[in-house]
Chain A
Amino acid sequence: DTGVSQDPRHKITKRGQNVTFRCDPISEHNRLYWYRQTLGQGPEFLTYFQNEAQLEKSRLLSDRFSAERPKGSFSTLEIQRTEQGDSAMYLCASSLAFGEPAEKLFFGSGTQLSVL
């Protein structure tokens, strides 16, 4: 098992453009989370899935953000009409809903987004 992988590692875009990030969780994990981290802060929860169902979205997540996990495996996070305030590290994590504590999250290395 190679762990949680995220693609791309870095993304530079111009304000107003759309971007999409991909996350491949650990294969047997049924929960998948998206977090956002800015400099000097801890990760902030954005949304999570159990299998293909999106069960919770943070108030931080504006209508420009959308996440999907179509077959309960990989997930995508899309940001439309990017703004400079969207510049951050976007972290994906996965976990098991049962057996292990669900809070024991396994994180990917993240996608660093820079909006110019």
Chain B
Amino acid sequence: DQQVKQNSPSLSVQEGRISILNCDYTNSMFDYFLWYKKYPAEGPTFLISISSIKDKNEDGRFTVFLNKSAKHLSLHIVPSQPGDSAVYFCAASARGSSNTGKLIFGQGTTLQVKP
């Protein structure tokens, strides 16, 4: 069972426009969410995170929105740049009483930003 789902395998946007990447989860125990970015031949790198006590977190051009009732989060990139072209993974953690750092990842969305 896929507890974290990214239903769009790919997304293409024009440079300077907004990129919106979506992620859905099913496990109500998830209380911490992250986005990772992955370039070819490299491991994933941390991008931004959000705790379930918030509904928005912003870091420069990147904003993550969390809708707990819908079990949905999204990553907004504004403005998009060609260097943002990569695979983006959504990940979730159930911290609970034991903060293991164990992550459940979605399948990834490949973002292409066209100059």
Contact = CB atoms under 8 A, between A and B. Distances in A.
Interface of A: 4, 31, 33, 40-45, 48, 55-56, 91, 93, 95, 97, 101-110
Interface residues of B, number: 26
A55 B100 contact: yes
Contacts of A106: 45-46
A108 B9 CA distance: 24
A14 to B, nearest CB: 25
B34 A93 contact: no
A18 to B, nearest CB: 24
B46 A41 contact: no
B100 A105 contact: no
Contacts of A97: 99, 101
B49 interface: yes
